[in-house]
Structure 1
Amino acid sequence: MYARNPNIAVSAKVGSNHDHILRKDFHAIAAAVRDSQRPGTSRFRRADNPPATQLHSTTTDSKEYTTMSITLTDQDKTTLRTAAYGAVSLLTVTGSPHKAATEATIALCSATGLVGHVLASAKSRDIKLKGKSVAELADQVLPALTDAMTLLDKHDPAEADNFRTTINVAIEAATQARKGQPSPVMAEMTRKITEALDAA
């Protein structure tokens, strides 16, 4: 199909079948949605198409990332991205996974300020999410959310508030993707994410 349509490209190949892909390879789905939202992304561009015009670029090869008088190391950026996109992955496995992942990822990509620059410039290799179960994923993501709030508050409390707001908007977007009231599982995961943000 994608050989005949220049607007379709393979994002990733995973070993899971249709019945298990959302449970075992949710991180690949979230990465595909995230990359499809990035302006000028090359991952979804065929080789025979010219590159899209980018209005700006925030990618850097240096060990530190500086904007608005705040300097973040590569490890700091990894923590922020793992926390934010990891939270989306946790929400994705709690119900209405396709639409929840799409809406929540769009919310992250719509962030502004320092947080917005860091999240928008993320690539799949920048997000360290491993684990075959929700429990293993939560063991990484929940502490990362607390660490992200701590490091941002140290640099600029306003950016810490910005990060919290961004995650809350992503949660709301994922929740609204589900028709009716959030399931008990999603409500409990939302509580744990909020608790991790407040623990800083």
Structure 2
Amino acid sequence: MTIAISLTDQDKLTLRVAAWGAVSLMSAAGATGSAHRVATEGSIALTSATGLVGHVLAKAPKGVKYGRTVATLADQVLPALTESMRLLNQQDPAEAANFRGTVLVAVDAAAQIHKGTPSPALADMARKITAALDAA
């Protein structure tokens, strides 16, 4: 049985800001010289998503201004992660799980560029992203 999910354009933007913003947060927390690799690995993970989430995340958000600091970016992205989980859980818990898994795969892919354990900054950012996903 397939459940039809109805997402508004604003809902889709929230999901995109959340997921692509999570990759941006990981990139910002990456070591000097590795931010591009972090963003690349995270982006590949997002564009590899399937289901409704895959269709929504196939495009990065356009015209979004994240701000100049990591704190400003986090102020926008972390609540969007929580809101995304809330709205998907209301309509289809399986798609909420798909979104959570997709974002965590992107975070993990971004964190793995150090061939082993992620840097302390990347590990801390991953914890914050996971906490925001689980706050819903």
Aligned residue in 2 for 1:45: none
Aligned residue in 2 for 1:148: 84
Q: Are 1:80 and 2:15 matched, yes or no?
A: yes
Offset at residue 72 of structure 1 (A)? 0.5
In terms of mean alpha carbon deviation, does 72-81 or 94-103 score higher? 94-103
Cα distance in 1 for residues equivalent to 2:109 and 2:67: 25
Give runs of ≥4 in structure 1 deviating > 6 Å.
none
Aligned residue in 2 for 1:69: 4
Cα distance in 2 for residues equivalent to 1:174 and 1:91: 7
Change in 2 beyond 3 A, CA 1:112/1:159: same
Offset at residue 162 of structure 1 (A)? 0.2
Offset at residue 68 of structure 1 (A)? 5.7
Q: Are 1:131 and 2:67 matched, yes or no?
A: yes
Offset at residue 180 of structure 1 (A)? 3.3
| 1:1-200 alignment, distance < 5 Å | 69-95=4-30, 96-125=34-63, 128-200=64-136
Which is greater in Rg? 1
Cα distance in 2 for residues equivalent to 1:71 and 1:129: 26
Q: Tell me if structure 2 keeps the 8 A contact 1:79–1:147.
A: yes
Please give the TM-score of this superposition, normalised by the length of structure 1: 0.63
Q: Higher relative contact order at CA 8 Å, sep ≥6: structure 1 or structure 2?
A: 2
For residues 13-62 of structure 1, the C-alpha deviation after alignment (integer angstroms, 9 at most, x for no partner) is xxxxxxxxxxxxxxxxxxxxxxxxxxxxxxxxxxxxxxxxxxxxxxxxxx
Change in 2 beyond 3 A, CA 1:153/1:122: same
Letter of the 1:109 partner, please give it. Answer: T
Report the number of matched residues. 132
In terms of mean alpha carbon deviation, does 182-191 or 141-150 score higher? 182-191
For residues 131-166 of structure 1, the C-alpha deviation after alignment (integer angstroms, 9 at most, x for no partner) is 110000000000000000000001100000000000
For residue 114 of structure 2, give the secondary structure of its aligned residue in structure 1: coil
Q: Tell me if structure 2 keeps the 8 A contact 1:82–1:129.
A: no
Cα distance in 1 for residues equivalent to 2:107 and 2:127: 10
Long gaps (5+) in structure 1:
1-66
**Aligned Cα root-mean-square deviation (Å):** 1.5
Offset at residue 124 of structure 1 (A)? 2.5
Aligned residue in 2 for 1:36: none
Q: What percentage of aligned pairs have identical amino acids?
A: 64
Aligned residue in 2 for 1:9: none
Q: Tell me if structure 2 keeps the 8 A contact 1:146–1:198.
A: yes
